[in-house]
C-alpha cells in the first residue's frame, strides 16, 4: 500500500503516519521526492484500515497495491472455474442459456414455458416466485406456491432451476424446495447480510451487478459470499443505469473482458433487463456471446403479451428457437459450443 502525503507535511506528520502503519502491523518505508512524500506500507494489506489513514490531515491519497478481493481474484486461481449445476456446467468451453419467464404465474404457464425452454435447447430454466418491483402496487410474485409449480414444470424436462432470493428468512425455504441456483438481484448486490448467509451454503449463486455499481464493488460483493465458504459464484451483467432513456439499461459488454481478466469465475449476461424490449434482446445476446460471455439469462414466455411482469422484454418460443440457432453459429466461430 502506498500513502501519498501532502506537500506541506512536516516531520511530525511523517512520524505519525509511520506509527499508524506500525500499529496496523505493517512496516513503513518513507521516500521523499521533490514535490511529494510517499510512504510505503510493507506487509499484509488486509490488516490496513484505509479510511483511518485517509483521515489523517497530512494524507492526500492512499493507494492499494494488492487487490482487496482475494478468493474471487484470478490471482488466487489462474484457471477458469466451471460450476456444476445439476450436471450442467457453467463456465469453460460450453455456453449455457438460462431461459424462462420473468415470474411464475400459473401451473399451466410454467408447464408451457418449460416445454418451450427445453425445445429450444436451453439446459436451465429461470423464473421468479418472489419479485422485487419498483412499485409496491405491482405484482410481487406468487411466493412458495410458485416454487412448487416451478419445480414440477422444470423437472419434467430435467431442467435445473434459477430463482431470485430477496429475503434471508426465505433461504431455508429455497433449500427445502431444492432450488438449484440462487439469484441475488441487482437491488440486493450490496445486501451484505444476505450475501453472508448465501455464502454459508453450497448452492451456486448468480450475483447480478447493481444498477450503479462499479466492477470493483461487484467483485467485493462476490468476495462476501466466497469469504463465508461458498465459491460457486456466477457474475451476471444486466446493464447499468445511465442518462439514456432510449432503452432500459446500458449493457456493459466491456465488463465481460474486464471480469475475465480479474476473476476466474463464470460471467453471464442478461440481455432482457439491459434492453427492456424483446426486439433488442437478440442483438445484445449475440454481442455478449461474441464478447466471451459464458452464458445468457433470457426471459421467455409462452405468450409474452399476457405476461404478468416485464411483458415487453420476453421472447416467444419461436423467437428463442431462432436465437439459439444464431448463437450456436457465433459460438462455433469463436471456438466454443452451445
| Mean pLDDT of the chain, nearest integer | 92
Each residue of 176-226: pLDDT tens digit?
A: 999 999 999 999 999 999 999 999 999 999 999 999 999 999 999 999 999
Per-residue pLDDT tens digits for 12-25: 999 998 999 999 88
Cell of 129: 416466485
In a domain, 68, yes or no: no
Does position 142 have pLDDT exceeding 80, yes or no? no
- pLDDT over 90, % of the chain: 72
Domain of 51, in residue numbers = 2-63
CA distance 209 to 150: 25
Q: What is the CATH number of the domain that holds 53?
A: 3.30.70.1140
Task: Give yes or no: residues 28 and 122 share one domain.
Answer: no
The continuous run of DSSP H or E covering 29 comes out as strand 27-32
Backbone angles phi, psi at 264, to 5 degrees: -90, -5
State the pairing for strand pair 295-299/267-269: parallel
Q: For the segment 114-131, what is each residue's pLDDT rounded down to a tens digit?
A: 999 999 999 999 998 886
Q: In whole angstroms, what is the distance from residue 21 CA to residue 12 CA? A: 14
Q: Into how many domains does the chain fold?
A: 2
The pTM assigned to this predicted structure is 0.84
| Residue 43: inside a domain | yes
Q: What is the pLDDT of residue 42?
A: 82
**13 and 110 co-located in one domain:** no
Angle between helices 254-262 and 215-227 (to 10 degrees): 40
- Per-residue pLDDT of 315-324, as tens digits, reads 999 999 999 9
Identify whether 69 is part of a domain. Answer: no
List the CATH number of the domain containing 144: 3.20.20.70
**pLDDT confidence tier of residue 139, bands split at 50, 70 and 90:** low
The CB density around residue 234, as the number of other CB atoms within 10 Å, is 27
Q: In angstroms, rounded to a whole number, what is the distance separating the alpha carbons of residues 24 and 85?
A: 42
C-alpha cell at 61: 491519497
pLDDT tens track for 31-88 = 887 678 888 888 877 778 888 899 999 999 888 767 778 899 998 888 999 999 999 9
Judge whether 122 and 321 are in contact, CB under 8 Å. no
Q: Using pLDDT thresholds of 50, 70 and 90, give the confidence band for residue 132.
A: low
Q: Are 141 and 266 part of one and the same domain?
A: yes
267: β partners: 235
Taking a C-beta distance cutoff of 8 angstroms, is the pair 176, 206 a contact?
no
What pLDDT digit, counting tens, does each position of 296-310 carry?
A: 999 999 999 998 888
Alpha helices, DSSP H only, in 96-170?
107-120, 144-155
- Residue 77's Cβ-count burial label (10 Å; 0-12, 13-18, 19+) is middle
Q: Which of 35, 63, 91 is the last residue of a domain?
A: 63
CB of 211 within 8 A of CB of 193? no
Which of 69, 87, 86 has the alpha carbon at shortest distance from 77?
69
Q: What nine digits make up the cell of 293?
A: 460471455
Rounded Cα distance, 96 and 117, in Å: 12
Amino acid at each position: 500500500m502506498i500513502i501519498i502525503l501532502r506537500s506541506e507535511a512536516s516531520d511530525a506528520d511523517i512520524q505519525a503516519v509511520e506509527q499508524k502503519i506500525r500499529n496496523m502491523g505493517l512496516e513503513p518505508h518513507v521516500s521523499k521526492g521533490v514535490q511529494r512524500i510517499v510512504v510505503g506500507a510493507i506487509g499484509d494489506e488486509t490488516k490496513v484500515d484505509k479510511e483511518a489513514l485517509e483521515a489523517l490531515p497530512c494524507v492526500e491519497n492512499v493507494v492499494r497495491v494488492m487487490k482487496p478481493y482475494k478468493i474471487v481474484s484470478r490471482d488466487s486461481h489462474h484457471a477458469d472455474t466451471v460450476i456444476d449445476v445439476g450436471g450442467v456446467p457453467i463456465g469453460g468451453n460450453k455456453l449455457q442459456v438460462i431461459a424462462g419467464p420473468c415470474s411464475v404465474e400459473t401451473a399451466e404457464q410454467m408447464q408451457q414455458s418449460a416445454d418451450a425452454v427445453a425445445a429450444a435447447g436451453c439446459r436451465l430454466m429461470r423464473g421468479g416466485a418472489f419479485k422485487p418491483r419498483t412499485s409496491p402496487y405491482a405484482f410481487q410474485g406468487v411466493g412458495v406456491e410458485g416454487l412448487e409449480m416451478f419445480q414440477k414444470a422444470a423437472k419434467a424436462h430435467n431442467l435445473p432451476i434459477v430463482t431470485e432470493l430477496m429475503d434471508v428468512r426465505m433461504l431455508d425455504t429455497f433449500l427445502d424446495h431444492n432450488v438449484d441456483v440462487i439469484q441475488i438481484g441487482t437491488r440486493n448486490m450490496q445486501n451484505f447480510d444476505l450475501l453472508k448467509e448465501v455464502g454459508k451454503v453450497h448452492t451456486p449463486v448468480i450475483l447480478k451487478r447493481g444498477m450503479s455499481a462499479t466492477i470493483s464493488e461487484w467483485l467485493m460483493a462476490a468476495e462476501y459470499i466466497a469469504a463465508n465458504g461458498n465459491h460457486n459464484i456466477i457474475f451476471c451483467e444486466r446493464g447499468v443505469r445511465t442518462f439514456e432513456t432510449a432503452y432500459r439499461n446500458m449493457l456493459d459488454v466491456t465488463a465481460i473482458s474486464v471480469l475475465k481478466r480479474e476473476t476466474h469465475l463464470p460471467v453471464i449476461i442478461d440481455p432482457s433487463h439491459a434492453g427492456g424490449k424483446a426486439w433488442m434482446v437478440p442483438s445484445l445476446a449475440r454481442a455478449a456471446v461474441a464478447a466471451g460471455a459464458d452464458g445468457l439469462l433470457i426471459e421467455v414466455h409462452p405468450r409474452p403479451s399476457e405476461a404478468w411482469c416485464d411483458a415487453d422484454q420476453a421472447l416467444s418460443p419461436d423467437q428463442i428457437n431462432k436465437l439459439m440457432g444464431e448463437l450456436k453459429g457465433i459460438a462455433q466461430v469463436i471456438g466454443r459450443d452451445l
